[in-house]
Structure 1
Amino acid sequence: MTPERLERIQTTLNKRQPDLTVITDEVYKPHNLSAIARTCDAVGIPEIHCVWPTDAYRLKSSSTAGSSDWIKVNTHDSIAAGINSLKDRGMKVVAAHLTDRAIDYREYDFTQPTALLMGTEQEGVSDIASEMADEHIVIPMQGMVRSFNVSVAAAIILNEAQNQRQKAGMYDQRRLPDDVYQTLLFEWSQPSILHLCRKHDLPYPKLREDGELLDPQGFSEQVNASHRAKKLRRSNAIAAAKNRS
């Protein structure tokens, strides 16, 4: 961990906006989802929400340019469940949706806790999502086509959100809660140790101010102890199986 790398991680975390996010309603093309995630990372959004028609969600790495390592993805079984979870956190849900009540996206106040709702590529925002949204916004267009690609539209709108928040000074001080900040600082600065923690179901070890482990020997002993315990359980299971046979 170089000092420059640690400083970049800390600077990025200090600008994360925990009360700004995106929720996608079955946006199914991987390159669109990944492009949205890349934009979210660029404007300081720490996590996104996806209603995904299958059990698994994956970001297309070629489109994220590495942003998949820095964005948390939450999946929901239905758009209603996703919207309700965000509203329970005090967020207003604003849908990019062309309706009679839609306003110019630049007129919306993005300094308030907001979840931007983007509909599917072909059908747009679903009826239930439209009804549940607190606000509808549109990007004014002057040509024959009536809409942008979903990832392009998200980028345009989120750039406006970033501009408003910058003017309001919302990037000038850390806004992540301390526990979230410390967790992400560890996960981002120590990916190899993170892998071992998850593999052996170990708590995250404490870091020094320079981003390195406070007690590397103690952590190594924990890993070795876990490895020995797993090996012993396997041996006991094999012996038990032989006894039964």
Structure 2
Amino acid sequence: MERTEILALTEYLKQYVTSERLARMEEILSLRTRYIVLGLENIYHPHNANAVLRTCDAMGVQDIHIIEDANRFSPSDGVALGTSKWLSLYRYKSAETAIAELRKSGYRIIATTPHHNPTPLEEVDIEAGPCVFFFGGEVSGLREVVLDNADEYLAIPMYGFVESLNISVSAGMVLQSVVSKLRKSSVDWRLSDYEREELLLDWLRKSIRNVDAIEKRFYGIS
């Protein structure tokens, strides 16, 4: 869709939401980022999927890239119809395809693992370029295909007897740390004007009842 059409349709749809709702959408979009994104490999527990989605939304992380070559990522219906409609989910059948696409888009591939001489979380250089943080499945963690293709490795320092954390806890700790660091940096981490316009249209469509019929009126289709 051309930018002029996006803007015109968005302006038309605005009349079908309250001014408070619209202002909230625009406020949240002003705080969203694609400089940091999340990568998930074969996460299958709905509870963990739900928690990760909620954390991404809360931290302002817009994009989640999901590898499903062994397990399908399946949050519960309530969350799928709630939190995830504000997020952009990209699904892949192989880790190789996901990594190739992300690297082509300019992302550093950062694998979370206690192995491979990882960088401690607090030492991650967030200003070195856009990055995707990969987390693995609940039992085995990241597989070798991701680890072998990563540009960097990251670990959450731990000081007790446990050697690993639940995936949703790990993702929450990493995102809170790196997003906080990003917002204090000199990096231009916000969405572009065009990205905000595209997402606002998408969000309006998902918020308005009978939006298909309303759009037909906009286009003069009976």
- Bin of the TM-score, shorter chain as denominator length: 0.7 to 0.9
Which residue of 2 is the match for residue 41 of structure 1?
Answer: 57
Which of these residues, 28, 31, 34, is aligned with residue 18 of structure 1?
A: 34
Q: How does 1:1-245 map to 2 (within 5 A)?
A: 1-53=17-69, 57-62=73-78, 66-111=82-127, 112-168=129-185, 175-191=190-206, 196-197=211-212, 218-219=217-218, 221-222=220-221, 224=222
Q: Is the Cα contact below 8 Å between 1:35 and 1:64 reproduced in 2?
A: no
Total equivalences in the alignment: 205
Query: Which amino acid in structure 2 is aligned with residue 69 of structure 1?
Result: K
* Paired position in structure 2 for 1:236: none
Contact preservation (8 Å) 1:37, 1:64:
no
Change (3 A) 1:63 1:92: same
Question: What is the identity percentage for the equivalent residue pairs of Structure 1 and Structure 2?
Answer: 28
Alpha-carbon contact 1:96-1:117 (below 8 Å) kept:
yes
Whole-angstrom distance in 1 between the partners of 2:149 and 2:53: 23
Higher relative contact order (CA 8 A, sep 6+): 2
User: C-alpha separation between the residues in 2 aligned to 1:82 and 1:125?
Assistant: 14
Change (3 A) 1:169 1:6: farther
- The answer (yes or no) to whether the contact 2:62–2:88 under 8 Å persists in 1 is yes
CA contact (8 A) 1:51 1:78 kept: yes
**Deviation larger for 68-77 or 184-193:** 184-193
The offset of 1:65, in angstroms, is 8.9
**Alpha-carbon distance between aligned partners in 1 of 2:123 and 2:158, rounded to the nearest angstrom:** 15
Are the aligned partners of 2:108 and 2:151 in contact in 1 as well (CA < 8 Å)? yes
* Unmatched segments (≥5 aa) in structure 2: 1-16
Whole-angstrom CA distance in 1 between matches of 2:157 and 2:207: 47
Residue 116 of structure 1 aligns with an amino acid whose one-letter code is F
**8 A contact 1:51–1:76 mirrored in 2:** yes
Gaps of 5+ in 1: 206-215, 225-245
Shift of 1:39: 0.8
- Any idea what SS the aligned residue of 1:18 has? coil
- Residue 196 of structure 1 and its aligned partner are, at CA, apart by 4.1
RMSD over aligned CA atoms reads: 2.6
Contact (CA 8 Å) 1:25, 1:118: kept in 2 or not? yes
| Greater C-alpha radius of gyration | 1
- Asked if structure 1 preserves the Cα contact closer than 8 Å seen for 2:43 and 2:72, the reply is no
1:25 Cα deviation after fit: 1.1
Give, in angstroms, the shift of residue 53 of structure 1: 3.5
Structure 1 window deviating more from structure 2 (153-162 vs 181-190): it is 181-190
